[in-house]
């Protein structure tokens, strides 16, 4: 499959007003997030997109490395400047995770979901992740950099064990698929949901509907503690409400979650009609 990602192919297909209108595309870079943070601090406009074919120091959540062979994935970071308080930054991550699930579904017809807080799943296996980094001053966000890695045409057997259970769009489809189409759909969906956020509407409920986590038995690891119980709900700030086995309701703002229980019915059929 011809799958050229370049400034000109992206520009030719882009339907957005400002998301992805300024692009830096690297054959190789340490981390698109590192570069996007640098650009954001230097005043780059909202919507600036940094893309790479391969990263030499790709970063995941909780200080983990992010691996992706050259050309196999969508590796991107987007600069946003929402008029929000730092404590509301999770809304921007929600917008982007939600947009990613929708873009995967429209371009591949594979059913996708979100594992709290921001893993992208297909049939309970990780197909991508979101890493948000922010800058703030005087109680306001200055910038939010949303880094996204999506395994598109990736042979999952090349990934280190620690990333299991992982999958890719090509592994699920049984054939390769276009990174360009996925990127264009993703940028369009991000702008759509981000516009609503800018008008004051939180993406929380739409994001919540896409969680594969709720109602299931989970294990959550936070710095220094491990909790087991049922993921009962998420609150407006995106925190997980975990009903522990002792019956207490714990509010967990950030952590690493492992799904223990069965896949709910709505996620059981991996293909959409
Ligand atoms: C996670 O699930 O841990 C989040 C992974 C985020 C990876 C992406 S790849 C593009 C961007 N640049 C990085 O260094 N990290 C993010």
Domain harbouring 237, CATH code? 2.30.30.100
pLDDT for the residue 1: 46
Backbone phi, psi, residue 150, to 5°? -125, 125
Q: What's the distance, CA 93 to chain centroid? A: 7
- Nearby residues of 270 by Cβ (< 8 Å), 6 or more positions away: 110, 111, 122, 123, 172
Residue 240 contacts residue 208 (beta carbons within 8 Å): no
Six token digits for residue 166? 């992982």
DSSP 70-115: TTSEEEEEEEE--S--GGGTHHHHHHHHHHHHHHHHHHH-B--EEE
Question: Tell me, what's the pLDDT at 265?
Answer: 57
Do 143 and 236 lie in a common domain?
Answer: no
Candidate from 33, 96, 100 with most ligand 1 atoms within 8 A of CB, to mutate: 33
- Are the CB atoms for 178 and 28 separated by under 8 Å? no
Q: Is the dihedral of CA 205, 76, 199, 99 positive or negative?
A: negative
Give residue 261's pLDDT.
65
- Phi, then psi, of 33 in degrees rounded to 5: -65, -45
Ligand 1 midpoint to CA 130 (Å): 6
Q: Which residues line ligand 1 (CB under 6 A)?
A: 31-33, 55, 58-61, 64, 66, 75-77, 119, 129-131, 147-149
Look at residues 209, 207, 182 and name the one whose alpha carbon lies nearest to residue 108. 182
- Cβ contact 186:149 at 8 Å: no
Distance 227 CA to ligand 1 centre (A): 25
Name the closest-CA residue to atom 7, ligand 1. 149
Tell me the two tokens of residue 91: 């809304």
Give the C-alpha separation, 258 to 212, whole Å. 11
Q: Is the peptide bond before 260 cis (omega within 30 degrees of 0)?
A: no
Give the residue from 165, 187, 209 where a domain finishes.
209
Round to whole Å and give the CA distance between 145 and 97. Answer: 13
Residues 55 and 115 in one domain: yes
Tell me how far the alpha carbon of residue 77 lies from the centroid of ligand 1, in angstroms.
8
Same structural domain, 31 and 126: yes
Using the atom order of ligand 1, give the atom closest to the CA of residue 30. Answer: 14
Give residue 183 CA to ligand 1 midpoint distance, Å. 15
Answer yes or no: do 29 and 73 share one domain.
Answer: yes
Instruction: Tell which atom from ligand 1 comes closest to the C-alpha of 128.
Output: 2
Ligand 1: nearest atom to the Cα of 73: 9
- State whether 151 and 54 are in the same domain: yes
pLDDT at residue 177, rounded to an integer: 96
Residue 272 domain flag: no
pLDDT (tens place) for every residue of the chain, 273 residues total? 446 799 999 999 999 999 999 999 999 999 999 999 999 999 999 999 999 999 999 999 988 999 999 999 999 999 999 999 999 999 999 999 999 999 999 999 999 999 999 999 999 999 999 999 999 998 999 999 999 999 999 999 888 776 668 999 999 999 999 999 999 999 999 999 999 999 999 999 999 999 999 999 999 999 889 999 999 999 998 999 999 988 999 999 989 999 886 655 555 555 666
| φ and ψ at residue 237, rounded to 5 degrees | -85, 0
The residue assigned the tokens 């407006």 is 236
- Residues spanned by the domain of 91: 7-209
Examine the domain organization and report whether 238 and 178 are in the same domain.
Answer: no
Query: Comparing C-alpha atoms, which of 142, 140, 110 is closest to residue 128?
Result: 110
| 222 and 161 in a common domain | no
| C-alpha 60 – ligand 1 centre gap (Å) | 5
Looking only at the bridges linking them, the beta strands covering 217-222 and 140-151 are unpaired
Closest residue by Cα to atom 11, ligand 1, is: 147
Whose structure tokens read 């196999």?
72
Examine residue 29 and state whether it is found in any structural domain, yes or no.
Answer: yes
């Amino acid at each position: 499959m011809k799958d050229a990602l370049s400034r000109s192919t992206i520009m030719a297909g882009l339907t957005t007003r400002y998301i992805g209108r300024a692009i830096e595309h690297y054959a190789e870079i340490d981390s698109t997030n590192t570069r996007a943070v640098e650009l954001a601090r230097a005043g780059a406009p909202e919507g600036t997109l940094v893309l790479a074919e391969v990263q030499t120091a790709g970063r995941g959540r909780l200080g983990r490395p992010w691996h992706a062979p050259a050309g196999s994935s969508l590796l991107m970071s987007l600069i946003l400047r929402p008029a929000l308080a730092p404590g509301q930054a999770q809304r921007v991550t929600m917008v982007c995770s939600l947009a990613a699930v929708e873009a995967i579904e429209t371009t591949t017809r594979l059913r996708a979901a979100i594992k709290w807080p921001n893993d992208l799943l297909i049939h309970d296996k990780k197909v991508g992740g979101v890493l948000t980094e922010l800058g703030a001053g005087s109680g306001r966000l200055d910038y939010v950099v949303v880094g996204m890695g999506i395994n598109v045409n990736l042979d999952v057997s090349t990934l280190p064990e620690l990333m299991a259970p992982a999958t890719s769009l090509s592994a699920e489809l049984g054939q390769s698929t276009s990174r360009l189409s996925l990127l264009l759909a993703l940028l369009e969906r991000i702008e759509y949901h981000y516009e609503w956020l800018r008008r004051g509407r939180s993406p929380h409920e739409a994001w919540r509907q896409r969680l594969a986590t709720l109602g299931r038995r989970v294990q959550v690891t936070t710095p220094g503690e491990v909790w087991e119980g049922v993921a009962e709900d998420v609150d407006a700030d995106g925190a997980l409400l975990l009903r522990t086995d002792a019956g207490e309701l714990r509010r967990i703002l950030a952590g690493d979650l492992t799904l223990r229980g069965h896949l709910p019915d709505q996620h059981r059929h991996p293909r959409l009609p």
